Amino acid sequence: MCAESQQGCSGKEECILHDPDKRNHCYVLWTIDNVTKKSIIKLKGCFLDSNDCYDKPDCIEDNPERKKDLYFCCCDGNMCNQNFSWNPHPTSSKPTQPSVIHEFEPVPNTKQQAITLALLISIPMLLTFGSFFLWWLYRHRKLGYFNEVPTLEPLPMPPPSPTLGLRPIKLLEIKARGRFGAVWKAELKNDIVAVKVFPVQDKQSWQTEQEIFKLAHMDHEDILRFISVEKRGDNLQAEFWLITAYHERGSLCDYLKANIVTWPEMCRIAESMARGLMHLHEEIPANKADGYKPAVAHRDFKSKNVLLKADMSACIADFGLALIFYPNKPCGDTHGQVGTRRYMAPEVLEGAINFTRDSFLRIDMYACGLVLWELASRCTIQDGPIGEYRLPFEDEVGLHPTLEDMQESVVHKKERPLILETWRKHPGLLSICDTMEECWDHDAEARLSASCVVERVATLSRTLVLNSSTLIRVDNTNEIITTKESSM
């Protein structure tokens, strides 16, 4: 979105291609000042697959009829929206010439004319309704498709919860930008909240997130706290807001870039993170207070989607790609190859997913192993110098790997992030290393469950043998109590 000063339109955006059968385009949405007659850009950037944009090297608006003084154009090619113009095609005022009936052509009688007219009207209508029905059916089946733009409401949306209309929210500053929009630090009355702003093309992710948050039993300490949802603006300028609790420390990824963690902090983060994932994966029967909660797979689990609270415990966020597993109901025709390439499990990279609940939960656990590796790499307990923060597979495939890069590294070479020998010299970190290796096992069925990771880390955080005579215990408040044991 461009500021009135137009300074917001000077950057470049790399369009991410999510489907090899589709195209990316560039677009511009602008108005013209009635006084100065200068163009004022409102929106500019990447546009999803559209037949109207195919094979158009230049961004030209040719529609003479304007809606609310807004001009829109799209085009094919790198930076093709750098220049844009309005070049309307005038509608022809000449009457259509009647077709000439040659002398040798038979002139139809009145009955034939009526039949012909009926066919000319009914056949296009049948084709139109048939095409619309097939398109609706396709869209209905593909609701889970990765980053698909919903151009038709599949079902009536429930009202925001709680229903308070548009709230008096003041956006303060952008804290993060992600696949589905920007996250703002904002002020709601006297409280600081987070507002995740989805552009119109990512409305489906906004719908998925609120559907997950509104499930029973989702008010959990290790799941990001949901406050409300709102729709702001109309048409192409519409925005969809997700309002949640705000955590100043930000994501685990950003925190580890600038900070190192102690052993008690690492255990606290790892245990709460795994507990949040366990709660998400868990199927909980209905009780007197809450209804039934089905199992949910996150499908984009990574350190960017783990937030740190003030007490250094973690909570899980970003459910835009999550999948709900209702009992006796198949997953449907869900696109399996979604998420962040760096964190994709081997079976996802291969496109060989077994579309069952347990298969999707095991994909989350593979990514959990990588996040544990990120934590271990920045823990002060390791025997040796602590290196700079690195993303998983950064040494193997760099910062911007292609799908083919990840397939070669993870599937064919069966590579995993390097575990230093200095980590294994500490008994607690050794156990974490064993845990992460069992999480990212190439065989999906051999991977640990989230509940098993919680149990292991909880045990480690309570009791850790440092040497033959010292037992160190860490309680839930991170207080360290050292006692001497006669023999261990």
Q: List, by residue number, the catalytic residues.
A: 300
Tell me which amino acid residue 350 is.
E
Buried b (16+ CB within 10 A) or exposed e, 338-372: bbbbbbbbbbbbeeebeeebebbbbbbbbbbbbbb
Q: Could you tell me the CA-to-CA distances from 223 to 88, 95, 297, 314 in Å, in that order?
A: 52, 66, 13, 8
Type and span of the H or E element at 359: helix 357-377
Nearest to 451 by CA among 365, 331, 322, 341: 365
Q: How far apart are CA 292 and CA 6, in angstroms?
A: 50
What's the start-to-end Cα distance of the chain, in Å?
63
H helical segments located in 68-190: 110-141
Q: How far apart are CA 267 and CA 428, in angstroms?
A: 10
Type and span of the H or E element at 361: helix 357-377
For residues 325 and 349, the answer to whether their CB atoms sit within 8 Å is: no
Q: How far apart are CA 209 and CA 204, in angstroms?
A: 9
**One-character DSSP codes across 252-269:** HHHHHHH--B-HHHHHHH
391 phi and psi, to 5 degrees? -70, 155
Classify 390 as helix, strand or coil: coil
- 84-86 and 59-61 strand pairing: parallel
For residues 262 and 380, the answer to whether their CB atoms sit within 8 Å is: yes
What percent of the residues of the chain are helix, what percent strand, and what percent coil, each to the nearest 5?
35, 20, 45
Q: How far apart are CA 225 and CA 65, in angstroms?
A: 46
For residues 278 and 285, the answer to whether their CB atoms sit within 8 Å is: no
Tell me which amino acid residue 408 is.
E
For residues 70 and 238, the answer to whether their CB atoms sit within 8 Å is: no
Tell me which amino acid residue 258 is.
A
Q: How far apart are CA 244 and CA 177, in angstroms?
A: 16
Tell me which amino acid residue 200 is.
V
